[in-house]
Structure 1
Amino acid sequence: MKNRKHQLANEKILKLILKLSLPATIGMLVSSLYNLVDTIFVSKAEGPLGIAALTIVFPIQMLIMAFTQSIGIGSASIISRALGEHKNEKASEMFETTVISLIILSALVIFLGVLYLKPTLLLFGATSLILEKAKDYYFIILIGSPFYIFALGLSNIARAEGNLKVSMNGMLFSAILNIVLDPIFIFKLNYGIKGAALATVISQFISFLYLFRYFFFSNNSYIKFKGFIFRINYFIEMIGIGLSSFTRQAVSSIVAIVLNNTLKIYGGEIAIAIMGIINRTLMVIFLPMFGIIQGIQPIIGFNYGAKSFGRVKETLKMAAIITTIFCTIVFLIMQLFPKGIIRVFSNDINLINMSILPIRVFSLAFITIGFQIIVAGYYQSIGKVIPALILSIARQSIFLIPLILILPKYLNEFGIWISFPISDFMGFLISLIFILKEYRKNLSQK
């Protein structure tokens, strides 16, 4: 355990980023396989309507993730800085508050989700043709949501203390199980879309068990759980830091409400299915970059707490370069091979032909996204709530939602797709302004 602190404080930045980010990146990529594999198998069993049903449920799952991340990321930021300041007792106290918060969140998600199941699906854009399939999938996901909430929350804390391997392993085991169970439940047992949900919940339960064992039944963590003691001051600080992550995900859900209902008007179920395919593709694209953020978060948090601003600046620069290169490669793939992306999910000729233009237009400004994610992640890591919040919501709430509401009136369905690269580029400009100001004010220090 002392060796991990020594690495955060002294090891070469590029080597440390690769060492910490690679497990997180693999773990995040693996975690995306839940919805990705579900979509592929459901498409084979249920067709475009099955994809559309998952598209309706997906932003609701992202909303659950938003609440969980507000706890997990906020807690991780406090814990990593506490460890950098050699305050292990504070880190353990923060962990106790986090566990209680996750229990409360799990209970609320199940109660409110079941109570308002149908109205929620209608709000998120379900049509009469989609509704029943969406209900079948969403109900099972709701019942198993506590396993997902705890697995995600505990993963953030494992990363905060620099133990990326534990987080990755938990997700890896469950993702492999999900891949194995999906065809069994969907096809062999003939459960269809319900089978996809069952496979996902069982797999998330495995991830939960692995992480629970690490924190509560091993001696490998710096953090010790001593009792159910809820500290309101830690909770307020945790939620304040995690607010930017919550807002980003919550705004994504609001965007989904606006987007799905607009697509319903201008493109119908097929357009919603296309958006579902793009969303699943984005999961594969974005989650590795979030894995990089979660890898650099303990480096930035630890060294910021230790006043090693030179290492903070170098970490930020290296991460921005890596993610920008990654986004450039993704941009080229989406521009050159859109049909190949669609065929991963469906062989429906009509769906394939209608998806090519949206994918190409949607990805026009992807090169800028990695930089934006890193800048927002930097402010989260150092506990600066307001800049992190602004950067998290600027692209979607300030730019994307108005564009989705306005442009289709003049450009029909095309107006929806072109809204995304425009908002991406505007978000890049906002991020650039913020980080240049931060460099002049704080990161000019050694």
Structure 2
Amino acid sequence: MAGNDAAVLGKEPIGKLLIGQAVPASVGILVMSLNILVDTIFVGNWIGSIAIAAINVVLPVSFFIAALGMAIGIGGSSVISRALGAGNRARAQRTFGNQITWTLLLTIGMVIVGLYFRDSLIPAFGGKGDIFEPARIYYTIVLYGVPFLALCMMGNTVIRAEGKPRFAMVAMIIPSVGNLLLDYILIYVLDMGMEGAAWASTMSYLLCFGYVLWFFLSRNSELKINFKSFGLDRSISAEIASLGFVTLARQAVVSIVYLLMNNILFELGGEDSVTVYGIIARMLMFALFPVLGMTQGFLPIAGYNYGAQLWDRVKRSIVTAILYASILGLLVFAGIMVFAEEIVSIFTTNPVIISQTPNAMRWVFAATPIVALQLIGSAYFQAIGKATPALLLTLTRQGFFFIPLVLVLPLYLGELGVWISFPLADLLSTLVTGFFLRKEIKQKLDTGSG
């Protein structure tokens, strides 16, 4: 029965649970990553390069609004996992209702503001000259659908918190596949140009929302859409906000890193160096999908068992997740080291880029085998509801270490300093995370005090 599904998180073997949770998450991340790549190819070939520029102008705004849904989802899902583990279904249901309320309030409010200041925001994000009009068309249509995307991202994390990763995987696949099919129909067949690209994205969000809504209205879900739980609870809202802020802070730092990298590399090597980073950034998105999937799969398992006070299972979930993710990281590392040239040749035929990118990529991925500890360690604190260490450990890698390194090392080592900053930041953040995670295990889990 649906009511017993979450209980398997506290009963089944940890290894089996991790694989069952991580594989669907990995597939969903992979499909979404492929969608971004293929969608860019379609738009560039069927509309033109100006369309790619226009979409890139809009993405920071639409992604930030959608990220609010993700943040609310991850923050609230930590509460839900622990509540279900403790057998407090009423608190889980109330949290879910509060998540819906906050997602609607914040995203609709942001969309209203975004549309009101549309003609000022678009140029501010680079939509100038010939880019302005297609960006304006895409921006206006896509923003109408962004609240639905935010609800999907929020709902997806809740589905995973209930212990139903396959449903969560389908929720991630639907908008990706739907967007590609709609791109073909609206852009290629109906020749709707930029409007077609925008409506393809918006309609794909609606398809995903329809599926997520069906899930929570069906017998598959333990949590229901209950208007009584929509009333905001101060303590629950505060916990959602504190834990969700970790996700928002991570997104903000990622944006700063992209901004810094593009400017520093342009100064050091011009457009070619920026292109090299563009290829490497794509590979970071694609190649690490199994490690990120393992991290996503770990979250509900750790949260549920922590809430159930099953300390030994929490400890085993940490150790097993780090082991599995490290093995996957080692395989990714080996693939990059051996096939770097072949990978780069898929993206471009430019001989300069092909000659420069492989070695840079090898440096960037040099610490991949150990990065699992940092990802799982910071995710653990978020899963158990400890927002402050979760935030600090999440920011160590790119915020506290990478940004200072990438600002200083290039002054002495040139472009090589940029690439060396990646493994050094990974190493330092892993050491810091390992220290605090070991301390947490010894003081809390080994003593059984939680």
For residues 349 and 57 of structure 1, the distance between their equivalents in structure 2, rounded to whole angstroms, comes to 32
Structure-2 residue corresponding to 1:145: 146
After superposition, the Cα gap between the structure-2 partners of 1:57 and 1:411, relative to the gap in structure 1 and judged at 3 Å, is farther
* Worse-superposed segment, 137-146 or 127-136: 127-136
How much does 1:282 deviate? 2.0
Structure-2 residue corresponding to 1:226: 226
After superposition, the Cα gap between the structure-2 partners of 1:374 and 1:17, relative to the gap in structure 1 and judged at 3 Å, is same
Mapping for residues 341-352 of structure 1, pairs under 5 Å: 341-352=343-354
How much does 1:20 deviate? 2.1
For residues 51 and 352 of structure 1, the distance between their equivalents in structure 2, rounded to whole angstroms, comes to 23
For residues 51 and 350 of structure 1, the distance between their equivalents in structure 2, rounded to whole angstroms, comes to 23
1:166-209 deviations in Å (ceiling 9; x for gaps): 21112222222233333444545556676555433322221111
Aligned residues of 1:125 and 1:261 also touching (Cα < 8 A): no
Structure-2 residue corresponding to 1:295: 297
Structure-2 residue corresponding to 1:370: 372
How many correspondences in the alignment? 445
Structure-2 residue corresponding to 1:392: 394
Aligned residues of 2:326 and 2:372 also touching (Cα < 8 A): yes
Structure-2 residue corresponding to 1:96: 97
Indicate whether 1:321 and 2:323 are aligned.
Answer: yes
Indicate whether 1:109 and 2:110 are aligned.
Answer: yes
How much does 1:436 deviate? 1.2
SS in 1 for 2:385: coil
Mapping for residues 192-341 of structure 1, pairs under 5 Å: 196-215=197-216, 217-227=217-227, 228-341=230-343
For residues 57 and 404 of structure 2, the distance between their equivalents in structure 1, rounded to whole angstroms, comes to 21
* Worse-superposed segment, 177-186 or 394-403: 177-186
The letter for the 1-side match of 2:297 is G
How much does 1:387 deviate? 1.0
After superposition, the Cα gap between the structure-2 partners of 1:181 and 1:156, relative to the gap in structure 1 and judged at 3 Å, is same
* Worse-superposed segment, 221-230 or 37-46: 37-46
The letter for the 2-side match of 1:163 is K
How much does 1:374 deviate? 0.7
The letter for the 2-side match of 1:218 is S
For residues 262 and 117 of structure 1, the distance between their equivalents in structure 2, rounded to whole angstroms, comes to 29
Aligned residues of 2:65 and 2:107 also touching (Cα < 8 A): no
How much does 1:83 deviate? 1.0
* Worse-superposed segment, 160-169 or 360-369: 360-369
Structure-2 residue corresponding to 1:180: 181
Structure-1 residue corresponding to 2:35: 34
For residues 287 and 58 of structure 1, the distance between their equivalents in structure 2, rounded to whole angstroms, comes to 21
The letter for the 2-side match of 1:225 is I
Aligned residues of 2:68 and 2:107 also touching (Cα < 8 A): no
For residues 43 and 291 of structure 1, the distance between their equivalents in structure 2, rounded to whole angstroms, comes to 29
Aligned residues of 2:32 and 2:176 also touching (Cα < 8 A): yes
Aligned residues of 1:49 and 1:269 also touching (Cα < 8 A): no
* Worse-superposed segment, 224-233 or 436-445: 224-233
The letter for the 2-side match of 1:301 is G
How much does 1:362 deviate? 1.8
Percent of counterpart pairs with the same letter?
36
The letter for the 1-side match of 2:223 is I
The letter for the 2-side match of 1:170 is A
* Worse-superposed segment, 43-52 or 25-34: 43-52
How much does 1:60 deviate? 5.0
The letter for the 2-side match of 1:283 is M
For residues 61 and 413 of structure 1, the distance between their equivalents in structure 2, rounded to whole angstroms, comes to 32
SS in 2 for 1:79: helix
1:307-338 deviations in Å (ceiling 9; x for gaps): 11100111111111111111111122222223
Structure-1 residue corresponding to 2:162: 161
The letter for the 2-side match of 1:90 is R
Structure-1 residue corresponding to 2:411: 409
After superposition, the Cα gap between the structure-2 partners of 1:401 and 1:156, relative to the gap in structure 1 and judged at 3 Å, is same
After superposition, the Cα gap between the structure-2 partners of 1:24 and 1:84, relative to the gap in structure 1 and judged at 3 Å, is same
For residues 83 and 367 of structure 1, the distance between their equivalents in structure 2, rounded to whole angstroms, comes to 34
> TM-score scaled to structure 1, two decimals?
0.88
For residues 125 and 404 of structure 1, the distance between their equivalents in structure 2, rounded to whole angstroms, comes to 24
Structure-1 residue corresponding to 2:84: 83
For residues 206 and 326 of structure 2, the distance between their equivalents in structure 1, rounded to whole angstroms, comes to 35
For residues 306 and 326 of structure 1, the distance between their equivalents in structure 2, rounded to whole angstroms, comes to 29
1:328-368 deviations in Å (ceiling 9; x for gaps): 11122222223433344444555444433332222222222
Aligned residues of 1:125 and 1:260 also touching (Cα < 8 A): no
After superposition, the Cα gap between the structure-2 partners of 1:269 and 1:402, relative to the gap in structure 1 and judged at 3 Å, is same
Aligned residues of 2:80 and 2:91 also touching (Cα < 8 A): yes
After superposition, the Cα gap between the structure-2 partners of 1:9 and 1:206, relative to the gap in structure 1 and judged at 3 Å, is same
SS in 2 for 1:146: helix
The letter for the 2-side match of 1:205 is L
Aligned residues of 1:110 and 1:142 also touching (Cα < 8 A): yes
For residues 213 and 169 of structure 2, the distance between their equivalents in structure 1, rounded to whole angstroms, comes to 14
Structure-2 residue corresponding to 1:429: 431
How much does 1:233 deviate? 2.1
How much does 1:12 deviate? 1.0
The letter for the 2-side match of 1:256 is Y
SS in 2 for 1:420: helix
1:361-394 deviations in Å (ceiling 9; x for gaps): 2222222222211111111110011110111111
The letter for the 1-side match of 2:204 is S
For residues 335 and 351 of structure 1, the distance between their equivalents in structure 2, rounded to whole angstroms, comes to 17
For residues 49 and 412 of structure 1, the distance between their equivalents in structure 2, rounded to whole angstroms, comes to 32
How much does 1:293 deviate? 2.5
